[in-house]
Amino acid sequence: MDAGTGGGTGAGTAPGADAPRPRGGPLAGVRVVELAGIGPGPFAAMILGDLGADVVRVDRPGSAWPHIDPRWDITNRNKRSVLLDLKREGSAERVLDLVERADVLVEGYRPGVAERLGVGPDACLTRNPRLVYGRMTGWGQEGPLARRAGHDIDYVAITGALGVIGPAEGRPAVPANLLGDYAGGSLYLVVGVLAALHGVRAGGAGQVVDAAIVDGTAHLTTMLHGMMAAGAWRDRREANLLDGGTPWYDTYAAADGRYLAVGPLEPRFWEGFLELVGLAGDPTLPDRDDASRRSELRAAIAARIAERTRDEWMEVFADTDACVAPVLSLREAPDHPHLAARGTFVEHDGLVQPAPAPRFSDTPGAIRRGPSRPGADAVEVARDWGVPALAGASAPGPEPAPGSDAVPDAGPRPGAPDAPGE
């Protein structure tokens, strides 16, 4: 694995320019203030940092959520940290000093909390009218549930997204916090921030970006709503083309208990799949188009896949268009030959982690620094951002013992869409 780049290696120059373009990612020169939280806010700020932005995270003294040593919290890579207790007099002014010099602010408090702390949109945009103020919440800034606590599972549940995942007769399957927090939340916040930033650089004013996980997750289901309106999607689990409702888009257990993901949707890929598993030409095999016999077809495939181990099957499917892939664990994924060849995972300071994405031919993103330690960068940030008062207002907190899960203030962390508010 490489040391942390996330894409191209071009070394070109800007059209008509004599000097090389600045390196460090396409967002090099963009300044971001992140008001520390949990979940989607930090991940969104990490993405901006991966793309080259200078991200300063304002951490809260005594707070340490999630309950892991900060050295392993990869979502805080490519950031610098200062410590400020926004409930103390003068701390909000220090944040506004940073805001005055920033392009973007990201916060994940419950509605109204940032305003009470003196760092809401009005205060920040008064200080810097060109600021993009990104707000990350679960329920949104308004609506009956806006001030309620919640977590990823709740947000994806009410949008219908959770209801399409899992077996027909069993419980809905929980997709970790990938679908709501990160897909419906972080990525939509980043899209909104970059769009608003483009508007500012085109001569427009700064503005507030309201990124709600419920909005983003609902937006992800757009195609399914279209298919349902057309009669091509049933509003129940395991009854459709893409939810495990067909034998040719499902997972199957191999002889060793590990799984294959099978997805030969198109007829020509399906024919190749049947050939490779030894079912082509079997007169007892039900026709793929006979919906009444799909359980028989699925059983025939399952019986055949169960005859070999997962890795033995992958040797059979190697270099074919059968659309079959091994279901890998998180620990296995970095060593897959394709991902290894692409550098999809990298190692930085001894931590194996996903590389920055997407890739850029001329200004690749990179992992420039590991997870920030709360408050460790105050002097450096004070110098680089021209806020000398910050150096004296922020000091690093105690370093947790290696491997220790014990942290001060172990309750839910304010400042996150998932957590109780201030």
Rounded CA-CA distance 37/96 in Å is 18
Rounded CA-CA distance 312/316 in Å is 7
- Identity (one letter) of the amino acid at 266? E
Tell me the β-bridge partners of 325: 261
- Identity (one letter) of the amino acid at 55? V
Q: Which residues contact 336 (CB under 8 A, 6 or more apart)?
A: 326, 328
What does each C-alpha distance from 415 to 34, 38, 137, 373 come to in angstroms?
A: 11, 7, 10, 18
User: 359 is written with which tokens?
Assistant: 């890739």
What does each C-alpha distance from 318 to 210, 265, 326, 338, 344 come to in angstroms?
A: 45, 18, 11, 12, 20
- For the annotated catalytic residues, the residue numbers are 151, 181
Q: Are strands 345-348 and 351-354 parallel, antiparallel or unpaired?
A: antiparallel
Q: How far is CA 334 from the centre of its chain?
A: 17
Give 178's DSSP letter: I
Is residue 316 helix, strand or coil? helix
User: 343 is written with which tokens?
Assistant: 């550098």
Tell me the β-bridge partners of 106: 34, 134
